[in-house]
Amino acid sequence: LREIRRRAARSPGHGAVRLGIGDDCALLRTREDEEIAVTTDLSIAGRHFRLDWHPPESVGHRTLARGLSDLAAMGARPLAAFLSLGLPHELTTKRDGKHSWVDRFLSGFLSLAAAHKTPLAGGDLAESPIAVADIVLVGAVPRGRALLRSGAQPGDLVYVTGSLGGAAAGLAILSVNAARIDFSADAREGEFAEALAPHLFPQPRIAQGEWLRRRGLATAALDVSDGLSTDLNHLCEESGVAATVEQDFLPRSSGVSIEQALHGGEDYELLFTARQNARVPRRIRGVPITRIGYIRRRRPEEPPITLKSGSVLAPLEPHGWEHFS
Ligand SMILES: [Mg+2]
């Protein structure tokens, strides 16, 4: 705990944390006319990550990325992170003078935290038979201005940041090659590093979410955590609309299948809608923006999401993200 506190004290922030680790509560300072955005995510070994597949730096990074991505989806700026870990004893002990698993977990966690100026302001640590990491992210957004899932209207266009399916494609490579990958080193280097990066080190779109919120361009937004087919369905449900996805428009990296782009989870890109006449740029803060479809009126006799390929229309069923179950 002392080690975590020492390392957390060095994590930079925007000055929102008035009092961090050490007292009974952390104290966060917000600006007037702001609302607080709070999100929580539980990561469990064997379910959301595998100790034999994921380097500890990646588990730390992904734990925080999940929470940051939810803040990004609302257009919130991160104020602070709170991390609770339940770990088997062997993951907290150093072996042969090398860093322990939890040391490396924190390295991955804190380097992403620094990149998004999100201080680690509290948490808990307990011994547990299986490894679990619970993250709470607190953010702030101007009152009444958060990006919601519920504002899409018929005629709006559907956009996505970055590219889709890269995390699923990376996971497929990881599942086949895990035995050949050297996990004693940070997996940001090595033979499979580039293909694995979208899965091991996904980048939450904080800057893009804040940009969209400030410009007031998005009528609805959420992050792609479960896969496009599932998350677009969430957006349509909350907005009371239907949508059509144009298969040929889907942004995919090489080696990513249509199936992975449609249903692969954990890309942590932003999915948003905007009015037809809105000036949506090709890039936001360096990240490409692609129009992938449009919003339709919801009719009981039609499927809520359709996939258009050339002139062929077919229902697009949501396929939930199964993780490792
Ligand atoms: Mg989300």
Residue in 134, 122, 109, 115 with CA at minimum distance from that of residue 39: 134
Neighbours of ion ligand 1 (CB under 5 A): 70, 223, 225
Ligand 1 centroid vs 234 CA: distance in angstroms?
10
Q: Are strands 77-87 and 120-127 parallel, antiparallel or unpaired?
A: parallel
Q: Specify the pLDDT at position 244.
A: 97
Q: What is the 3-state secondary structure (H, E, C) of 166-222?
A: HHHHHHHHHHHHHHHCCCCCCCCCCCCHHHHHHHHCCCCCHHHHHHHHHHCCEEEEE
Ligand 1 centroid vs 298 CA: distance in angstroms?
23
Q: Tally helices (H) and strands (E) across the chain.
A: 8, 14
Cα–Cα distance for residue pair 159/146, rounded to 1 Å: 18
Ligand 1 centroid vs 183 CA: distance in angstroms?
29
Ligand 1 centroid vs 225 CA: distance in angstroms?
6
Q: Specify the pLDDT at position 14.
A: 66
Cα–Cα distance for residue pair 72/137, rounded to 1 Å: 11
Q: What is the pTM of this model?
A: 0.93
Q: Specify the pLDDT at position 180.
A: 82
Provide the percentage of residues in the chain whose pLDDT is more than 70.
Answer: 97
Q: Specify the pLDDT at position 322.
A: 55
Ligand 1 centroid vs 187 CA: distance in angstroms?
26
Ligand 1 centroid vs 318 CA: distance in angstroms?
16
The parts of the chain modelled with pLDDT lower than 50 are 325
Ligand 1 centroid vs 160 CA: distance in angstroms?
14
Ligand 1 centroid vs 27 CA: distance in angstroms?
25
